A and B are shown apart, each in its own frame.
Chain A
Amino acid sequence: MEDEAPVIYGLEFQARSLTAQAAETDRIRFLVGTQSLRSENQVHHIDFDDENNVINKNVFLHREGEVWHISASTFDTSLLTTCYNKTSETKSELRSAVWRLPDDVDPSSPADDHSSSHSPLELLCHLDSGDHDVKGILWHPTGDGQTILGLSEDRILTWDLNVASSSASLTDTITLQSKGQPRLTCGRWNPHHNCAQIATANEATIRGWDLRSKQQTYQMEGAHGQLVRDLDFNPNRQYYLASCGDDCRVKFWDTRNCSEPLKVLSDHSHWVWSVRYNHFHDQLVLTSSSDSRVILNNVVTLSSEPFGHLVEQDDDSDSDSQQDRPQEAPKDGVIATYEEHEDSVYAVDWSTADPWVFASLSYDGRLVINRVPRAEKYKILL
C-alpha cells in the first residue's frame, strides 16, 4: 500500500522532544524541538498533508537553548511551551517559557526547502520556577483553564497564565515529601474528574495528586523494576493509566488498585521512553523505546470498547453486521512494529486531528509519520 508507507523527515540536529499541536483538530500537525549545544536550536512546526502524503514545515528559531521538552497549548494553536537548557561555562539549567508562533505561519512551504532565514519564536513569557530545573510543562487537558503545571525536581508548580497581558504568575507549589532527593521524571494531567488530578513519577514510583487539596491521593511504590519514563491516562476510561520504564515493560493500571498492574507488555528489548493512548480509540497504544523501535499495541481488553465498536447499525446493514460479528473477536497483542529509526526513539505522539496518524522522533533527528495499518483500522471501524 503506497499511502501506508511511512513518511520520513530529517532534522539537522538531534532531538528528543515531540508533541502534537493539541489545539489543532483539522490538520495533522506536530511540533519538534531540537537539541544542540553549539548551534542555534529550532522548533519545527510540521504539517502533514495526508492526501498528498507530503510534509510541510515551518522552522522557528529557539534561541534560548536546546529543547528538552515541548508541549502545545490545548486551547490556542499558536501557543506552546518549551523546557530548555540554559548552559554557560559552569552551569546548565532547565528553564521553561511560553512561546507564540509567529503569525505569518505559512505551512505550505515544502519540507525540503532549506531557506536559511528562519524567524524566531515570539516569547510570550518566561515561567518563573525559582532556581529549580523544570522537567516538563502540562497544559490543562480540556483547554478551558488558564492553568499550567510544571514538574520541577521535587515539586509541582502551578502558574496562572494570562495571555492577554503576556504574563504568568506562580500561584501554587506542591512539594513531594519523600526520603532522599526525589526528582520527578514525568507527569500527566488526568483528563477525567474535572481535571483535578495529576499523576507523576519519580524513580520507580508513580504518585497521584489532587490539585484542589494538594495532597497525594495514591502511590504505586515500585511500579516498575527501574525508573519510570512516561505515563499516560486513558482518555476515554476513568482510572486507567499506562506507564513505561527502564525495565522494558509497559504496564496498565487501575488507579483504584495500586498493588497489581492490570496488564504488562514486554515487547521492547530496551528502555521504553514513551507511551501514548490514541485519543479516539483507546485500545491503540503506542510505545517507543531506545531499542529504536516503535510498537503499536492493541489493548482492547482494557479499552473503553472492550467488545468492539458498539455503534447502532442501520437496519439494512443488520445482516452484514451479524455476519461480521463472529470475526470480531478482539484480542490484545502487537499490531505493528515500526523499525524506521536507527537510534533511540525518545518520543512518540498521536495526531490530535487524525486518529490513525502518529509521529515518532529518534535522537538522530529523524521524524517518522506513520499510520495505523489499514486492516486494523477497518477492524475497529466496522
Chain B
Amino acid sequence: MADKLADADRRKRRDLKSFYGLEGEANGEVPAGGESTKPAASTDPCDINSPHFQPDVYLNKLIQERSLVELMEQEQTMTKDIRSLDSDMQTLVYENYNKFISATDTIRKMKNDFKKMEDEMDHLATNMSKITTFSASISDTLQDRRHQITKLAGVHSLLKKLQFLFELPARLKKCIEMEAYSQAVRYYTKAQRVLHQYSHMPSFQGINRDCDAIIQQLCTTLRQQFKEKESTPKQLAECVDLLLQLDEPPEELCDEFLSHARQKIDEDLQDLDRQIKLQSGEAVPVQEDRPAKAFMNTPMDVLEFVDAGCNGFLSNMCLVIASYNDMFLSRTQTDERLDNIALRKLVLFVNDLMEQYFDFVRQRVQLERETGDNTILVRALDRFHRRLQAMNKLLPDTDFSRAGTEIVSKAAKDRVGHYLQTLKQHFADALTDIRQNLAAPRLVGKHDGVAKLAELLSNMQGSVVEQIKSVLNNLQAFIAADITFAMKPYFRGPFCNQDVREGLVVGFVKHICAVCNEFCESSSDRGSVPPALLLILSRYCIDLENATISYLLTLTEEQFLVEERAAGSPVADLCNEAKSAAQRLLNHFVRVQGLTISQMLRKSVETRDWLNTIEPRNVRAVMKRVVEDMTAIDLQVGQLYEEGVRRERSSDSSRRTHPHSMSQQNKRLQWSYSPSVDNSLMSNIQKLFSEKIEVFSAVEFSKVSVLTGIIKISLKTFLECVRLRTFGRYGLQQIQVDTHYLQLYLWRFVSDENLVQVLLDEIVCSSVHRCVDPVMMEPSVIDLICERG
C-alpha cells in the first residue's frame, strides 16, 4: 500500500511538472527513482502513464492477452484509479485557490504601506537641503581666520628651529660636558645642513663657527678617547661611529683604530714572547707588582701557552676584527672603494700580527722538543688549530689555517725527528750495553759466557721493538679521533706516510744499517769493536731482514692507516739493505777473527829459528791455541747461526772416525820417499783441477761458512809466512806435525774438508821447498805426537 501511495504521489508531482514545462528535468530525475521499467515505458504505447499512450493499442493488447477475469479485474482497478485521480485533482485545485486568495490580500496591504513611506521621504529631503545652506554660510564666515592660523603656526615652527640653532652651541657644550657625545652629534648633524645652507648670513655664520669649533673640540675629545689605552672596545666602537657620522675620513680612522688595537695586541704578544724566553731560559722572571700578573712569571707548559695565546691574543684579535667589521665594513652607506681600502688595511694588519703570533707559537712548539709528553702538545696544537679555523670564519678572505697547519705539521715532524733521535740513542745505548756485557768478566765458566750472546741479541731485539712500539703509540696521539687537524687529509697524509713511516720507521732501520756499516768501515783499523758484537749485529740485521722490518712496517701502516700504494720505500729495498749490512758485518767478523788468528800464526812463524830447531816432540802451543780459539768461535757462532750445509763427502763413514785419511797418508808417504821430485809440479797439477781459493771472500749466513772463512784466512797466512822462512830438517818436521794436528781438529768446522786439506798440503809443500835438508817425518810418528798432544 505504501508503495502504491508513494507511486501516486510521484505521479502527481510529475504531472505538475509536465504542466509547468519541467518535463525535461523530470526525465533526468527519473532514473534516480529506481524504476527500471520507466525509460522503456516512456515510449511504450501501452503504458498508461506515458505521453505516448495509445488507448486503442492498449485496449487491443489487453483484450488479446488477458482472460476475462483478469479483464474484469483490470476494469475494476481502472475505475478505482480514475476515481482516486479525480479526488486528487479536486484537492489540488482547492489548495491552489486558497493560496491565491491569501496572496491577493498581502499585495493589497503592501500597497497601503508604501504610500506612507513616500511622504516621509519627501520631508527628509527638504530638511537636508536646509542644512546644506546653513553650513555653507558658516564656512564662508570662517574662511579668513583659518588662513591666519596656518600662517602663524608656520612662523612658530620656524622660530622654534631658529631658537634651536641659536641654542645649539650651548646645547652642544652642555652635552659635551655631560659626555653625551652621541646626543651632541645628533644635534649637530641635524643642524649642520641648515647652517651650511645659510652660512652666508652673518648670524648663522657665527653659529656655524661656534658649532664647528665645538664639534672640532668634540672630535679631538673623541679621538683622545680613541687613543686612550683603557677605553673598552665598545666605547671605541661608539667613538668611531660618532666620528664617522662627523664625516671624519674613514681611512684615517681605520688606521687609528688599528694602531690602537695594535697596542693592546702587542701587549699580548709581548707576554707570549716573555713566556718563550722564560721557557728557553733566556730571561729571568721579573718581579711584578701586580699579583694578578704573577702567574706570567712562571713558565707555562705548552698547553697553557696556547691557551694564553688563544684567550689573549686571538680573542682580542677576533674582537678587533669583529668591531672593525661592524664599524667600517658592514656600513651600508660607505662606497665600494672605501670598503676595499678598509678591508685591505684590515687584512694587512691581521696578517702582520698573525705572522708574529705564528712565529711565537712556532718557537714555543720547538722548545717543546725536549719533553716527552705528547698529549699536552697534541691538545695544545689541536686547540690552536681549532681557534684558527674560527678566525677563518671571521675573516673570509685570508687563510690562516694553512699557516696553522704548517706549524702543526712542523711540530709533528719535529716530534717524529725527536723520537727518531731517541730511538737512535736507545740503539746506541743497547750497543753500549752489549759491549759492557761482553767486556764484563765471565763469572761462571766459559759456557755461560758464550750462552750470553743469544740472550744479548734477544734482549736488544726486544727492547728496540718495544721502544719503537711505544714511540708509535705516543705518536698516535697526533691522529686521535678527537683531534681536528688529525682528520685533515693535508695533515694526515704527509704525517702518517712521510713522517712516521718514512721518517721514523724507515729512517731508523736505515740508521741501524748505517751504524752497522760504520762498524765494518772505520773501526777495521782501530779494531776496537769486539768481534762478538759484530756477530750479534749481523744476526740482528738478518732478523731485521727476515721478520722485523715487515712487522714494523705493517704495524705502522695499520696503526697509522697508511695506504699501501702511497707507501714510500718498499719493504724489499729495506730488507736488501739490512741483508747487505748483515753480510758486511759477518764478512767483517770473519776478517777480524781471521786476522787475530793470522797474527798469532805469523808471529809464531816469524819469531822462531827454524834452521836450528830440535826434533819435534810436541805440537806447538800456538796450534793448540788456534784450535781452542776456533772452538770458541764455533760456539759463539753456533749460538746465533744455523749449522749450514757441508759439502757431501765420501760415503766411507770411517773417514769421520779416522780423519787422517788414506789418501793423506799416501801423499805423505810419497813425499817422504821422494823428496827430490819437483813437488811444485805436483801441486801445480793439483791446482789445475781445484778451484782458486778466494781467501777473503763473502761468507754465507751459516756457522760452517763463517768458520771456513776464518780458517781459510788463517791457513793462507800460515802459508805465506812459511814461504818467507828457511827451514832445517826438524823445522820442516815441526811444520809437518803442526799441520797434521790442524788437519785433525779443523776438518769438523768447515764445509769442505778438502779445502783444509789443500791448504795444509800447500803449507807442507812450501816448507819442503824452503827446507835446506828436506827429510820428512814418518807419518806414524806424526800420528803419535799429535795424539799425545
Complex Cα spacing A87 to B725, Å: 11
Return the chain B residue nearest A91 by Cβ: B611
B193 CB to closest chain A CB (Å) equals 86
Task: Report B-chain residues with C-beta under 8 Å of the C-beta of A227.
Answer: 602
Task: Report A-chain residues with C-beta under 8 Å of the C-beta of B684.
Answer: 342, 364
Task: Report B-chain residues with C-beta under 8 Å of the C-beta of A225.
Answer: 524-525, 527, 595
Task: Report B-chain residues with C-beta under 8 Å of the C-beta of A342.
Answer: 684, 687, 692
Contact across chains for B680 and A364 when beta carbons are under 8 A apart: yes
| A-binding segment of B317-325, B427-435, B629-637, B765-773 | B765-773
Do A37 and B772 form a contact, CB below 8 Å, given A85-B726, A90-B612, A247-B524?
Answer: yes
Task: Report B-chain residues with C-beta under 8 Å of the C-beta of A364.
Answer: 680, 684
Complex Cα spacing A363 to B683, Å: 13
Return the chain B residue nearest A365 by Cβ: B680
Verify if B720 is at the interface (C-beta below 8 Å from A).
Answer: yes
Verify if A344 is at the interface (C-beta below 8 Å from B).
Answer: yes
Contact across chains for A226 and B595 when beta carbons are under 8 A apart: yes
A210 CB to closest chain B CB (Å) equals 27
Contact across chains for A269 and B769 when beta carbons are under 8 A apart: no
Chain B proximity mask over A362-376: 1 for CB below 8 Å, otherwise 0: 011100000000000
Verify if A270 is at the interface (C-beta below 8 Å from B).
Answer: yes
Task: Report A-chain residues with C-beta under 8 Å of the C-beta of B728.
Answer: 89
Task: Report B-chain residues with C-beta under 8 Å of the C-beta of A254.
Answer: none
Contact across chains for A270 and B524 when beta carbons are under 8 A apart: no
Verify if B716 is at the interface (C-beta below 8 Å from A).
Answer: yes
Query: Which residues 322-351 of A have a CB within 8 angstroms of B?
Result: 342, 344
Task: Report B-chain residues with C-beta under 8 Å of the C-beta of A91.
Answer: 611-612
Task: Report A-chain residues with C-beta under 8 Å of the C-beta of B772.
Answer: 37-38, 87, 89, 92
Task: Report A-chain residues with C-beta under 8 Å of the C-beta of B525.
Answer: 222, 224-225, 247
Complex Cα spacing A189 to B612, Å: 36
Partner of A290, one of B598, B680, B716: B716
B59 CB to closest chain A CB (Å) equals 141
Task: Report A-chain residues with C-beta under 8 Å of the C-beta of B696.
Answer: 248, 269-270, 291
Return the chain B residue nearest A293 by Cβ: B692
Verify if A271 is at the interface (C-beta below 8 Å from B).
Answer: yes
Complex Cα spacing A365 to B681, Å: 12
Complex Cα spacing A344 to B723, Å: 11
Return the chain B residue nearest A366 by Cβ: B684
Query: Which residues 140-156 of A have a CB within 8 angstroms of B?
Result: none
Chain B proximity mask over A62-97: 1 for CB below 8 Å, otherwise 0: 000000000000000000000001010111100000
Verify if A56 is at the interface (C-beta below 8 Å from B).
Answer: no
Do A269 and B694 form a contact, CB below 8 Å, given A225-B525, A342-B684?
Answer: yes
A153 CB to closest chain B CB (Å) equals 13
Chain B proximity mask over A352-363: 1 for CB below 8 Å, otherwise 0: 000000000001
Q: Which of B595, B602, B694, B772 is packed against the most chain A CB atoms within 10 Å?
A: B772
Verify if B785 is at the interface (C-beta below 8 Å from A).
Answer: no
Verify if B697 is at the interface (C-beta below 8 Å from A).
Answer: yes
Chain B proximity mask over A189-232: 1 for CB below 8 Å, otherwise 0: 00000000000000000000000000000000010111100000
Contact across chains for A270 and B716 when beta carbons are under 8 A apart: yes
Verify if B695 is at the interface (C-beta below 8 Å from A).
Answer: yes
Chain A proximity mask over B488-525: 1 for CB below 8 Å, otherwise 0: 00000000000000000000000000000000000011
Complex Cα spacing A264 to B696, Å: 17
Do A291 and B695 form a contact, CB below 8 Å, given A37-B771, A89-B772, A226-B595?
Answer: yes
Chain A proximity mask over B670-712: 1 for CB below 8 Å, otherwise 0: 0000000000100010010000101111000000000000000
Complex Cα spacing A269 to B720, Å: 14
Contact across chains for A92 and B611 when beta carbons are under 8 A apart: yes
Partner of A37, one of B524, B595, B770: B770
A169 CB to closest chain B CB (Å) equals 30
Task: Report B-chain residues with C-beta under 8 Å of the C-beta of A42.
Answer: none
Verify if A303 is at the interface (C-beta below 8 Å from B).
Answer: no
Q: Do most interface residues of chain A lie in helix, strand or loop, or is the interface mixed?
A: loop
B404 CB to closest chain A CB (Å) equals 49
Contact across chains for A14 and B694 when beta carbons are under 8 A apart: no
Do A290 and B720 form a contact, CB below 8 Å, given A14-B769, A87-B772, A225-B527?
Answer: yes
Return the chain A residue nearest B609 by Cβ: A91
B674 CB to closest chain A CB (Å) equals 14
Complex Cα spacing A166 to B694, Å: 49
Contact across chains for B687 and A291 when beta carbons are under 8 A apart: no
B595 CB to closest chain A CB (Å) equals 7
Chain A proximity mask over B728-770: 1 for CB below 8 Å, otherwise 0: 1000000000000000000000000000000000000000011
Verify if A292 is at the interface (C-beta below 8 Å from B).
Answer: yes
Query: Which residues 8-25 of A have a CB within 8 angstroms of B?
Result: 14
Return the chain A residue nearest B688 by Cβ: A342
Do A271 and B769 form a contact, CB below 8 Å, given A90-B612, A225-B525, A225-B527?
Answer: no
Contact across chains for B769 and A90 when beta carbons are under 8 A apart: no
Task: Report A-chain residues with C-beta under 8 Å of the C-beta of B599.
Answer: 226
B56 CB to closest chain A CB (Å) equals 140
Task: Report B-chain residues with C-beta under 8 Å of the C-beta of A14.
Answer: 680, 769
Task: Report A-chain residues with C-beta under 8 Å of the C-beta of B720.
Answer: 271, 290, 344
Return the chain A residue nearest B694 by Cβ: A269
Complex Cα spacing A282 to B696, Å: 29
Return the chain B residue nearest A204 by Cβ: B525
Return the chain B residue nearest A37 by Cβ: B772
Complex Cα spacing A344 to B772, Å: 22
Return the chain B residue nearest A227 by Cβ: B602
Complex Cα spacing A378 to B57, Å: 148
A173 CB to closest chain B CB (Å) equals 24
A219 CB to closest chain B CB (Å) equals 16
Complex Cα spacing A269 to B684, Å: 21
Task: Report B-chain residues with C-beta under 8 Å of the C-beta of A270.
Answer: 695-696, 716
Task: Report B-chain residues with C-beta under 8 Å of the C-beta of A89.
Answer: 611, 728, 772-773
Return the chain B residue nearest A342 by Cβ: B687
Task: Report A-chain residues with C-beta under 8 Å of the C-beta of B697.
Answer: 269
B473 CB to closest chain A CB (Å) equals 44
Chain B proximity mask over A281-298: 1 for CB below 8 Å, otherwise 0: 000000000111000000
Task: Report A-chain residues with C-beta under 8 Å of the C-beta of B612.
Answer: 90-91
Complex Cα spacing A85 to B769, Å: 14
Task: Report B-chain residues with C-beta under 8 Å of the C-beta of A291.
Answer: 694-696
Task: Report A-chain residues with C-beta under 8 Å of the C-beta of B716.
Answer: 270, 290
Contact across chains for A292 and B692 when beta carbons are under 8 A apart: yes
Query: Which residues 23-43 of A have a CB within 8 angstroms of B?
Result: 37-38
Q: Which of B524, B697, B769 is packed against the most chain A CB atoms within 10 Å?
A: B769
Task: Report A-chain residues with C-beta under 8 Å of the C-beta of B726.
Answer: 37, 85, 87, 92
Task: Report B-chain residues with C-beta under 8 Å of the C-beta of A248.
Answer: 696
Complex Cα spacing A342 to B527, Å: 32
B13 CB to closest chain A CB (Å) equals 127
Task: Report A-chain residues with C-beta under 8 Å of the C-beta of B694.
Answer: 269, 291
B623 CB to closest chain A CB (Å) equals 21
Task: Report A-chain residues with C-beta under 8 Å of the C-beta of B770.
Answer: 37
Complex Cα spacing A37 to B770, Å: 7
Return the chain A residue nearest B770 by Cβ: A37
B767 CB to closest chain A CB (Å) equals 11
Complex Cα spacing A365 to B678, Å: 13
Return the chain A residue nearest B599 by Cβ: A226
Complex Cα spacing A227 to B716, Å: 15
A133 CB to closest chain B CB (Å) equals 12
Contact across chains for A37 and B695 when beta carbons are under 8 A apart: no
Task: Report B-chain residues with C-beta under 8 Å of the C-beta of A37.
Answer: 726, 769-772
Complex Cα spacing A14 to B726, Å: 14
Return the chain A residue nearest B610 by Cβ: A92
Task: Report A-chain residues with C-beta under 8 Å of the C-beta of B680.
Answer: 14, 364-365
Task: Report B-chain residues with C-beta under 8 Å of the C-beta of A92.
Answer: 611, 726, 772
Apart from A87-B611, A89-B611, A246-B598, 8 more pairs, CB < 8 Å: A87-B726, A225-B595, A227-B602, A270-B695, A270-B696, A270-B716, A291-B695, A364-B680
The list of the 3 closest CB pairs from A to B, nearest first, reads: A92-B726, A269-B696, A270-B695
Q: List 12 A-B contacts (CB under 8 A).
A: A37-B726, A37-B770, A37-B772, A87-B772, A89-B728, A90-B611, A92-B772, A226-B595, A226-B598, A248-B696, A269-B695, A342-B687
